[in-house]
Amino acid sequence: MPRYTKKDYPLVDIRRHLETGPIVLVSSAWKGQTNIMTMGWHMMMGFSPALFGCYIWEQNHSFEMIRRSRQCVINVPTVDLASQVVGIGNTSGASVDKFEKFGLTADEAEEVKAPLIRECYANFECQLHDSRLIKRYSLFVWEVVKAHVAVSPVRPKTMHYRGDGEFMIAGATLNLRRKFRAGML
């Protein structure tokens, strides 16, 4: 068993240890305009319906587009798109067409008006499920209504943000399936 020496840690930095889900690109459409933002603060909230929660800062151009359209697409990039991930997170859709600037292709979605990003490994079409936490926490609760996932690779090299400009890339797999109760898989 590992033994650690621990010290008090600044609360503003705990994100470095807790936000390591895959970085995603959120695409949106409103009144003829499309946009993309980079996002790390999200979580699954239910199996069926498939619920997904995420934090969208109200100062982002995406915020009003998404709040008004009540739709978005959650796109999962792999490390091949690292420079786009950072560029998209450091520019505002108020002044830049990010599909054009970052060389990405907008494909039509099936259930929502927001576009799918073709170059991403997976795309999840979302309809707003619950708006009650937006005002208070900027937290959007989505129902994923359609999912598109690449057939290979089976284990994509997704990017996981560690704060301070550093990303962890998905790597080794540890399969402990035989130790799981069937209902917990």
Ligand X SMILES: Cc1cc2nc3c(=O)[nH]c(=O)nc-3n(C[C@H](O)[C@H](O)[C@H](O)COP(=O)(O)O)c2cc1C
Q: What CA–CA distance (Å, rounded) separates 81 from 159? A: 9
* Number of residues in contact with ligand X under rule CB under 6 A: 20
Helix (H, G, I), strand (E, B) or coil at 183: helix
Question: Which residues in the 26-85 window bind ligand X by CB under 6 A?
Answer: 35, 37-41, 55-57, 60-62
Q: How far is the CB of 124 from ligand X (least distance, A)?
A: 16
Question: Other C-beta atoms within 10 Å of 162: how many?
Answer: 15
Output DSSP code: residue 17: H
Residues 6+ apart with CB under 8 A from 42: 21, 24, 52, 53, 54, 55, 74
Interaction of residue 161 with ligand X, rule CB under 6 A? yes
Interaction of residue 93 with ligand X, rule CB under 6 A? yes
The full DSSP string for 41-85 is -EEEEETTTTEEEEE--TTSHHHHHHHHH-EEEEEE-BGGGHHHH
Question: Which residues in the 98-127 window bind ligand X by CB under 6 A?
Answer: none
Q: Which is nearer to ligand X, 9 or 57 (CB)?
A: 57
Q: Which is nearer to ligand X, 77 or 156 (CB)?
A: 77
Q: How far is the CB of 87 from ligand X (least distance, A)?
A: 9
Q: Which is nearer to ligand X, 26 or 109 (CB)?
A: 26
**Applying CB under 6 A, which residues contact ligand X?**
23, 35, 37-41, 55-57, 60-62, 86, 89-93, 161
